Amino acid sequence: MSQQNIPDFTSHVSDAKFVGASNFKRQKTNDTPKIQVKRFHHLEFYTGDATSEMKRFSIGLGMKLMAKSDHETGNHEYISYVLQSNDLMFVMTSPYSENAPRPKTMTQPNPSFSNSHAHDFFRKHGLAVKAIGLLVDDAAQAYQYAIENGGIPVTKPVVCGEGDDQVIFSEISAYLAGDVVLRFISFANKDNEGKFLPGYLDLSAETPNINYGLRRIDHCVGNAEKAMPVYAYLNRVMGFYKFAEFIAEDVGTKESGLNSVVCSNHNEMVLLPLNEPTYGTKKISQIQNYLEHNEGPGVQHLALLSDDIYETVRKMKETWAGFDFQRQPHADYYSKIVPKKMGDKISQEEVEKCKELAILIDTEGEGTLLQIFTQPLGDRPTIFIEIIQRQGCPLPQGGQAAGCGGFGKGNFGSLFKSIEDYMADKGLSSRE
């Protein structure tokens, strides 16, 4: 879609402007949502070598190999693996050769897959998220409502499988521009909601049980040239509302900056923060750096929720399967900054555990947020992972309230410094 044809809903959405964290008031309505989004279902990565990435993500994050689709299953267009840890599901996919001869009879479980597009996607973006899978009540109805309200169509509803195995699958553009899609997926048999698509070979009985305690996706962060038009789009076509926002002045960074708005579905199980770069700072915004190296908007990082971040991070560091973490915060962080902002919300014992593992600590409202960030996952300074734990906002049904402890606003300074150091080491922080 050309730039001039991209819809702009900012004039139709009353809160599609930044006001800063101190002036922000969350305005969630009690209206029944038109699209019943339950939770994140999966994220699909496109890569040049799905087999190697599957092994790295499995060992590095503690995710069990559940299923595959490849030559062996009759799929001669792409190879794909499904990894899972509780409600966290990643799909690692790479295209086969565009020019190799194909058998007359083939199976292709993913109805939206294009071999040429997958090659183009990887050449353009490198290792990156292609699809943000959302579990919905009815993927056909979700698509229809989104398109009727201005959603950018990608894949019309398709029925995959038969009988109890039947799945409905549809897609719209996620960030107005760019190649990432929001993928609606619904299941005839609700007991199958923990699976991916029919046609994948089930490997769960023959692969090792591996689990480092990751529960689900907490939030999935996107970068765009301008965040508010994307928020207005998601508000209009999905019914998502503004859950939180930050501007450069809120996060206290001086040499580079960002503005950020957090979009949420009605039950607050799907949080989609959107970042935009700020300009005129001493150093290049890390968001601008991402946009240049990713060649457009896309998923910047994935926040993965753990019930025991200490155990998760220890296991990740023990295996050291290719996930390097950002540098330890500066010396005063645990001795001066944490006590000042946290008071008695966290014990000294926990502070020492965090210091040992370089875990950052923050608070907002009554909750506490523990977080740590990896370095970029691939060769480009683009996508990375955040491991988090939320404390202090228990829900009656179990778990913690959405956004409990915030989104690390108080740690942006330390995080930016780590990222800026990384960028400087790579020679990416200056145009000179």
What strand order describes the sheet that includes 153-160?
153-160, 167-173, 181-187, 128-136, 37-46, 88-95, 78-85, 64-69, 201-202
Residue 301 in marked binding region: yes
Q: Which two tokens stand for residue 110?
A: 């993913």
Could you tell me which residues come within 8 angstroms of residue 181 by beta carbon, excluding any fewer than 6 positions away? 112, 130, 131, 132, 154, 155, 171, 172, 173, 174
- Cα distances (angstroms) measured from residue 329 to each of 279, 284, 325, 415, 420: 25, 21, 11, 8, 13
Rounded to whole angstroms, the Cα distance separating 89 from 333 reads: 34
Q: Crossing angle, helix 309-319 and helix 348-357, to 10 degrees?
A: 20
Is 171 labelled as part of a ligand binding site? no
* 309-319 vs 50-61: helix crossing angle, rounded to 10: 130
User: Distance between CA 154 and CA 179 in Å, rounded?
Assistant: 10
Tell me the residue ranges of DSSP E strands in 86-140: 88-95, 128-136
Cα dist. 280→258, 285, 410, 424 in Å?
11, 9, 22, 18
- Is 117 labeled as ligand-binding? no
Radius of gyration of the chain (CA): 21
Rounded CA gap, 413 and 26, in Å?
25
Q: List residues forming the annotated binding site.
A: 219, 301, 386
Q: List residues forming the annotated binding site for Fe cation.
A: 219, 301, 386
